[in-house]
Amino acid sequence: MTSEKLAGPNVNSLRGFEVIDKIKYLLEEECPITVSCADILVMAARDAVQLRGGPRWEVLLGRKDSLESSFSGANLFIPAPNSSLEVLIENFKQQGLDIQDLVTLSGSHTIGRAKCLNFRQRIYEAKEEYHHGYDHYKRYTNFRRILQSICPIEGRDNKFAPLDLQTPKRFDNQYFINILGGNGLLGSDNVLITQDLDGQITEHVWAYASNEKLFFASFAKSMIKMGNINVLTGDEGEIRRNCRFVNA
């Protein structure tokens, strides 16, 4: 079985699995075969957001773990960092998520980091959608220089930069303020504004940039919605003893 961790969007990218392993070990010591790895991931995501200053929401529990790994699904459905807006919308639509969910969940980029390999194209290619076609106050120019100092045109592929340079360790609405100024780290961040021809997405971005409470409330709803995608329950799946393997 080829792990989803080895899929293109995940390999050498996702981290923190040892935290899930530790949680699972402690739970198995106290309550064997009771709490699934899927439920642990959902609760850990919620708690991580709250610990960084974000909202808290009630998590629905009772998921089972899959009996297989979807390497091809991870490659197919996880958006690339240089995705166009059209591709992003279609990816989310295939999972039952709408445009508001896309904008809202993109706000998770207010925390976390990305590797140079994932944003080099965004800072060295002079594409219209990367810098709005104007830079009157040199804000984007300064931002790009900072990123270029972190990520040269060649080499240092694994060097990290925060997804939100302004408040990198706090879950807030700064991400939306950033992309309104063309200062999203990833190309897929900035296309929310630059490729939004009818203004519907930009309207959501402005709303969240000006009202953090609105963003927090919407984020909680979208996270619950995303947490209910393709859930296994009842006789489907299993509760794994070790999150890295199916039960023997």
Give the residue numbers of the binding site: 4, 79, 109-110, 164, 167, 172
Could you tell me which residues are annotated as the binding site for substrate? 79
Residues present in the chain in total: 248
The token pair at 89 is 């919308």
Could you tell me which residues are annotated as the binding site for Ca(2+)? 4, 110, 164, 167, 172
Query: Which residues are 238's β-sheet partners?
Result: 65
Could you tell me which residues are annotated as the binding site for heme b? 109
The token pair at 24 is 């699972």
Among the listed residues 217, 231, 219, the one whose alpha carbon sits nearest the alpha carbon of residue 101:
219
Triad 158, 164, 168: Cα angle to 5°: 90
Residue 44 burial (CB count, 10 A): 15
Amino acid (1-letter code) at residue 43:
M
Computed on alpha carbons and rounded to an integer, the radius of gyration of the chain in Å comes to 19
* 3 state SS of 114: strand
How far apart are alpha carbons 205 and 173 in whole angstroms?
10
Contacts (Cβ under 8 Å, ≥6 apart) of 193: 132, 179, 180, 182, 201, 202, 205
